[in-house]
Amino acid sequence: MDVSPQNISNKPFPGEVHPTAGGGILVTKLDEVINWARSNSLWPLVFGTSCCAIEMMSTAGAKYDWSRFGFEVARATPRQADVIIIAGTIVNKMAPVLKRLYDQMADPKYVIAMGACATSGGPFFYNTYSVVKGADHVIPVDVYVAGCPPRPEALLHALISLQEKIRNAGS
Amino acid sequence: MNKEELKARLEELQPSPAFEEGAEWTTVIVDPVGWEGFSREMRTTKGLEFDYLFCLTAVDWRSHFNIVYHLTSTVHRHTLVVKVKLDHDQPVIQTVSDIWRTAEFHEREAYDLFGVVFSGHPDLRRLFMTDEWKGWPLRKDYEDPVNMIKL
């Protein structure tokens, strides 16, 4: 999905505000407001299985600071998380754990496959007995990020793409 | 103890040992015959006292296996690498888990992934792989048509 500049520019609130004396009238669609609210407070799950997690933590840190886009509240429980960033290799033994975490997340839930391992198995595609060749064999993925590991900018791009996807979803 | 002194001490234990040159640590290649006594002597001999096994692993060279022991002495601050050459068809070696307790898990790992049998080990069974797993996945000739995409 393309994130064009007009898409990522902070889209104003989806609706029209008509000021009146002592207040105003708001004309909007409920679906769009809900999508707008969801896209701006995506809470990621604390989940990382290898080196991509280091880049993910860097994205959360002060230098890149994903809080600017509404991701700051990383949750350590799937019950409170909206998005799972698969940051790292998924091995056969981890696959049921990932599935369970995904199942435990409340709807609506989103998945980002970060890096080569989560996308396709990456460097472990050939000649390995233990690695799942892409996390999408286990759970559905919304956004894929290329890289090994991807830079924080790439992850931010993926997160913003996910926001776009949510905002443009069924209205 | 420096490398030369260490080599001299080892020569007292093992007649004409084979040393490997060019590595960071003193490396000695020994025969599996007499390994039990030699390993115990390395632990107890005054002046050597290798009391810490910090790595135990196996290497599959197709023609044979090498079991590699990284030993260090917290008393004398010297380090030694011991390589034991094993037969590829029947890799069996005496356990060192009674000398260095940490070897209990290391040897289980080497057994799990390479199929090297450590005789005398108290609990030699699968560690990472499931109990019903067939084969030794880190061997070079390992085949797994279900999970593996061959290149």
Q: CA-CA distance, B75 to B42, in Å (whole number)?
A: 13
A30 is a domain residue: yes
Answer yes or no: is A2 within a domain: no
How close A154 comes to chain B (CA, Å)? Answer: 29
**What ipTM score was computed for the predicted complex, to two decimals?**
0.76
Residues of B with CB under 8 A from a CB of A: 137, 142, 144, 147-151
Question: Is the separation of the CB atoms in A83 and A110 below 8 Å?
Answer: yes
Q: Does residue A1 lie in a domain region?
A: no
Domain residue ranges of chain B, discontinuous segments joined by +? 3-88
Residue A18 lies in a domain: no
Over chain A, what is the mean pLDDT?
89
Residue A3 pLDDT > 70: no
pLDDT tens, position by position, B6-53: 888 888 887 778 888 888 899 999 988 888 888 998 999 888 899 999
Instruction: Report the candidate in B32, B83, B75 with the shortest Cα–Cα distance to residue B52.
Output: B75
Residue A133: its chain B contacts at CB < 8 A?
A: 149
pLDDT band at A6 (very low <50, low <70, confident <90, very high): low
Question: Domain residues for A118?
Answer: 23-167
Kindly give the pairing relationship between strand B79-87 and strand B64-72: antiparallel
Q: For chain B, say whether A129 makes contact (Cβ under 8 Å).
A: yes
Burial B77-105 (b: 16+ CB within 10 A, else e): ebbbbbebbbeeeebebbbbbebbeebbe
Quote the distance between the C-alpha of residue B77 and its chain's center: 20
Q: In whole angstroms, what is the distance from residue A63 CA to residue A155 CA? A: 14
Name the superfamily (CATH) of residues B3-88: NADH:ubiquinone oxidoreductase Nqo5 subunit (3.30.460.80)
pLDDT digits (tens, 9 = 90+) for A29-50: 888 888 888 988 899 999 999 9
pLDDT reported for residue B79: 92
Give the number of domains in chain A: 1
Read off the pTM: 0.82
A21 pLDDT exceeds 50?
Answer: yes
* B142 chain-A contacts, CB cut-off 8 A: 129
Q: In this structure, is residue A41 part of a structural domain?
A: yes
Residue A66 is assigned to a structural domain of this protein: yes
Using CB atoms, pick whichever of A92, A125, A130 lies closest to residue B149: A125
Q: How high is the pLDDT of residue A104? A: 95
For position B9, what pLDDT does the model report?
A: 85
Say if A12 falls within a structural domain: no
The answer to whether B95 touches B107, Cβ cutoff 8 Å, is yes
CATH number, position A81: 3.40.50.12280
B95, two tokens: 């356990």
- Is residue A79 domain-resident? yes
